[in-house]
């Protein structure tokens, strides 16, 4: 599955990594530590804020990836 972002077409894996990057940027911008818990909570917050099912799925997969990689 791919999605257009600006002038680029991103794969699902790239969208997941982008979501994690945005979560990390949010934490840094707000002077919070970038931890597994912080990333997971930020991704959950974004998941709850959106009504678009595809985005919800991306945020869910991103949270799972963060938790898997940080174990």
Domains of the chain: 12-69 (1.20.5.5260)
Which pLDDT value is given to residue 1? Answer: 47
Tokens of 18: 């982008």
Query: Can you tell me the distance from the alpha carbon of 32 to that of 12, in angstroms, rounded to the nearest whole number?
Result: 27
pLDDT in tens, the chain (71 residues): 445 556 578 899 999 999 999 999 999 999 999 999 999 999 999 999 999 999 999 999 999 999 998 77
Predicted TM-score (pTM) of the model is 0.84
Which pLDDT value is given to residue 54? Answer: 94
Query: Can you tell me the distance from the alpha carbon of 31 to that of 7, in angstroms, rounded to the nearest whole number?
Result: 31
Tokens of 21: 């990057």
What does the DSSP assignment read for the chain?
Answer: -EEEETTEEEEHHHHHHHHHHHHHHHHHHTT----HHHHHHHHHHHHHH---HHHHHHHHHHHHHHHHHT-
């Amino acid at each position: 599955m791919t999605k257009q972002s600006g002038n680029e077409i991103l794969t699902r894996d790239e969208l997941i990594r982008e979501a994690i990057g945005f979560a990390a940027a949010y934490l840094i911008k707000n002077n919070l530590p970038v931890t597994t818990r912080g990333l997971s909570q930020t991704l959950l917050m974004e998941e709850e804020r959106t009504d678009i099912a595809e985005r919800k799925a991306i945020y869910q997969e991103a949270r799972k990836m963060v938790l898997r990689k940080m174990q």
